[in-house]
């Protein structure tokens, strides 16, 4: 006969503590018949009588007393561990493991983590930034950010904002080399290219032609696997670059970068925040997800809008005027 050892032992311990099988059943939330069956199975399994029983009283035999001394500490320790595991989900302070891409996202993620820690000083963020797609299960990630679909099954996604890929240059570069007016004109310009840190491949520029997205290879005047380095080269006026909109936007706003070929600027996908079942998450993870959605979802601060493109057209005319006068 199969025996449920955990139920049988917990029934035995509770009956020994309360001196009554009926009281033990009530405390454990099972029927008296189930409690009696569990105890009988345990005695049969051990081939030992554990209690002396009368119609009113039950007391431990010597074998029962020895078993109680041996198993009670372990069972109580296991029950404490289970209780701690249940309550830990509702504790706010503690570690929070977050994963996200290094390129384009680290500044955004820092602002989010900084605000969350200011709101909840007991949080201990553990942030993993890398462009390769790691194994979030093996890395014990609570909350993950990623461009595009999740590489893992069984996770929940909330869409945040689009990743725009904008070609831009500094006013000095455009003054010196002119403004490209077509994709074909890029062949006569100095262009930067991004080498993917995970694969080592030089990435083409992603452009929109009509409703289609196309990959446009460029001959790089400068190539790097670091977006910040590429940004510095573009700001210095050495090259045109295709940069993530969230990276270029602060410099477009202050006039240090000018977007070009904006009709070809694609939305290259959307950033998402990924997480497991909300019912099994720590409270701190759920709160961080809510803050991420509140701060990032469709936030115009991270999207190049029409007002920036109109400002670009004015700058382009200004940059082009001296070249026409010189001609």
pLDDT one-digit tens code per residue, 146-169: 887 665 666 788 899 988 899 999
Helix (H, G, I), strand (E, B) or coil at 149: coil
Q: Between these two residues, 87 and 213, which has the higher pLDDT value?
A: 213
Q: Is residue 212 over pLDDT 50?
A: yes
What proportions of the chain, in percent to the nearest 5, are helix, strand and coil? 45, 25, 30
**Pairing relation of β-strands 143-147 and 94-100?**
parallel
What is the CB-side half-sphere exposure of residue 107 using CA atoms within 13 A?
Answer: 12
Contact indicator for 98, 141 with CB cutoff of 8 Å? yes
Residue with token string 């961080």: 288
pLDDT at 321: 40
- Residues 228 and 192: their CA atoms lie apart, in Å, by 12
pLDDT at 230: 93
DSSP type of residue 202: B
pLDDT at 134: 61
- Residues 218 and 85: their CA atoms lie apart, in Å, by 54
pLDDT at 320: 45
Share of the chain above pLDDT 70, in %: 84
- Residues 197 and 199: their CA atoms lie apart, in Å, by 6
Q: Tens digits of per-residue pLDDT, 43-94? A: 888 888 988 887 677 888 988 899 988 888 888 888 777 766 665 555 677 8
What is the end-to-end Cα distance of the chain in Å, rounded?
100
- Residues 112 and 116: their CA atoms lie apart, in Å, by 6
- Residues 165 and 206: their CA atoms lie apart, in Å, by 7
Share of the chain above pLDDT 90, in %: 28
pLDDT at 1: 41
With 0.85 as the threshold, say if the pTM is over it: no
Q: Is residue 137 over pLDDT 60?
A: no
Instruction: Supply 3's token pair.
Output: 């025996």
pLDDT at 6: 81
DSSP type of residue 142: S
Beta strands in the chain (DSSP E): 51-53, 58-60, 94-100, 123-129, 143-147, 156-169, 191-194, 205-209, 212-216, 220-224, 241-244, 258-260, 267-275
Q: Is residue 322 over pLDDT 50?
A: no
β-strand partners of 193: 223
Mean pLDDT of 248-258: 92
pLDDT at 174: 94
Residue-averaged pLDDT of the chain: 83
pLDDT at 197: 74
- pLDDT tier at 19 (50, 70, 90 boundaries)? confident
Helix (H, G, I), strand (E, B) or coil at 145: strand
């Amino acid at each position: 006969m199969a025996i449920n050892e955990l139920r049988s032992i917990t029934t035995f311990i509770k009956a020994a503590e309360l001196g009554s099988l009926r009281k033990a059943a009530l405390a454990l939330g099972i029927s008296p018949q189930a409690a009696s069956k569990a105890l009988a199975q345990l005695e049969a399994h051990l081939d030992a009588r554990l209690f002396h029983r009368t119609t009113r009283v039950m007391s431990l035999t010597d074998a029962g007393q020895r078993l109680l001394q041996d198993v009670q500490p372990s069972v109580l320790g296991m029950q404490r561990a289970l209780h701690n595991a249940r309550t830990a989900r509702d504790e706010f302070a503690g570690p929070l493991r977050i994963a996200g891409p290094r390129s384009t996202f680290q500044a955004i993620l820092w602002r989010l983590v900084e605000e969350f820690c200011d709101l909840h000083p007991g949080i201990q963020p553990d942030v993993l930034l890398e462009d390769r797609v790691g194994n979030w299960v093996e890395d014990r990630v609570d909350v993950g950010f990623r461009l595009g679909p999740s590489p893992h099954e069984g996770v929940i996604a909330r869409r945040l904002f689009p990743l725009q890929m904008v070609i831009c240059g500094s006013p000095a570069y455009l003054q010196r080399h002119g403004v490209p007016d077509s994709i074909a004109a890029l062949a006569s310009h100095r262009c930067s290219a991004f080498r993917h840190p995970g694969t080592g491949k030089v990435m083409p520029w992603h452009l929109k032609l009509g409703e289609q997205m196309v990959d446009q290879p460029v001959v790089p005047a400068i190539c790097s696997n670091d977006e910040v380095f590429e940004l510095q080269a573009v700001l210095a006026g050495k090259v045109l670059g295709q940069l993530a909109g969230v990276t270029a936007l602060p410099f477009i706003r202050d006039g240090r970068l000018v977007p070009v070929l904006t009709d070809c600027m694609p939305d290259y996908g959307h950033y998402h925040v990924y997480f497991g079942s909300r019912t099994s998450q720590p409270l701190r993870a759920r709160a961080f997800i809510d803050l991420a959605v509140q701060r990032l979802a469709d936030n115009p601060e991270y999207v190049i809008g029409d007002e920036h493109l109109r400002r670009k057209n004015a700058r382009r005319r200004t940059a082009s005027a001296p070249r026409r006068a010189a001609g």
